[in-house]
Amino acid sequence: MDANIYLPNLARVIFVKEEVPGERAIKTFHVEFIDSAGFAHECGQCAMLSVFGRGESMISIASSPLVDGYKQFSIMRAGRVTSAFHDLEVGDVIGIRGPYGNSFPIDAWRGKNLVFIGGGCGLAPIWPVIQTAVKKRDEFKQITVFYGGRSSRDIMYRTELDKLRETAEVHLSVDKQEEGWQEFCGFVPANLMNKEPSPENAIAITCGPPVMIKFVIQNLRSLGFQDNQIYTTLENKMKCALGKCGRCNVGKDYVCTKGPVYSWADLKELPPEY
């Protein structure tokens, strides 16, 4: 039978954790495939998750490709479909299709220093790269992670980030002054300038709100990072994930197929419509 690219497979929710409470809640889900062998993925790729009756959302796969048995997704409650995700419980079955998009060229980064800069829910799309680098620790040099949220409550993967300090430098921040907060206070791009990571033999990978990415890239360049040393992953409204419905079209690219991972060298060639 010919494959139907629009027909999802099914996956069961086996784990739910509230990362961030409140209005801009983030929940982490682990799902396991139930009606198929599932698919392998590479760092940076995404999947279309369905809550039938509500719709589909394109979500980055947050687990490393080296993890077997489940896929991890961290989803912020933003609208109609993502609210439905937040109502899911362990045992619920959702639709899943993928993997979609291109991936971070992690093989080409062996032997390099990796600098990760994330904000808000933007830590999730770059998390698989961090996890893969940690699992294959000897293949990479220095790992540095900059990550911040509006307040300490908005910081996701708290436990994992603390554990990460064993093998990487982790610099957290909150946007505004907060009682009991010991680390940097200010926006993530400012924290970056505060610590001044070296561009020497380094790759910078950033993801977060559009305005954060803009200033992070600016700051990285001022620190001496070249355009091909800077990587990001784009967020667009997406519906098909297959390069056909036109919604994520930016310049000649459909971001769902040619992206969402872009080096700044490539991204600056596209019209600024994202």
185 binds other proteins (CB under 8 A): no
Cβ proximity to other proteins, 112 vs 150, nearer residue: 150
Stretch that binds other proteins, among 138-146, 212-220, 225-233, 235-243 (CB under 8 A): 235-243
Stretch that binds other proteins, among 143-151, 161-169, 176-184, 232-240 (CB under 8 A): 232-240
Stretch that binds other proteins, among 51-59, 127-135, 150-158, 166-174 (CB under 8 A): 51-59
User: How many angstroms separate the CA atoms of 141 and 132, rounded?
Assistant: 13
Q: Which of 39, 78, 45 is nearest to 60 (CA)?
A: 45
Please report how close the Cβ of residue 56 comes to other proteins at its closest, in angstroms. 7
244 binds other proteins (CB under 8 A): yes
268 binds other proteins (CB under 8 A): no
37 binds other proteins (CB under 8 A): no
Please report how close the Cβ of residue 62 comes to other proteins at its closest, in angstroms. 19
User: How many angstroms separate the CA atoms of 82 and 151, rounded?
Assistant: 22
Contacts with other proteins by CB under 8 A: the residue count is 48
Cβ proximity to other proteins, 30 vs 171, nearer residue: 30
Residues 89-128 interacting with other proteins (rule: CB under 8 A): 91-93, 95
Residues 6+ apart with CB under 8 A from 105: none
Please report how close the Cβ of residue 5 comes to other proteins at its closest, in angstroms. 5
Residues 135-164 interacting with other proteins (rule: CB under 8 A): none
Residue choice 32, 35, 162, 196 for contact with other proteins (CB under 8 A): 35
Give me the residues that bind other proteins (CB under 8 A), please: 2-8, 10, 12, 23, 34-35, 52-56, 77-80, 82-84, 91-93, 95, 210, 235-237, 239-240, 242-247, 249-252, 257, 271, 273-274
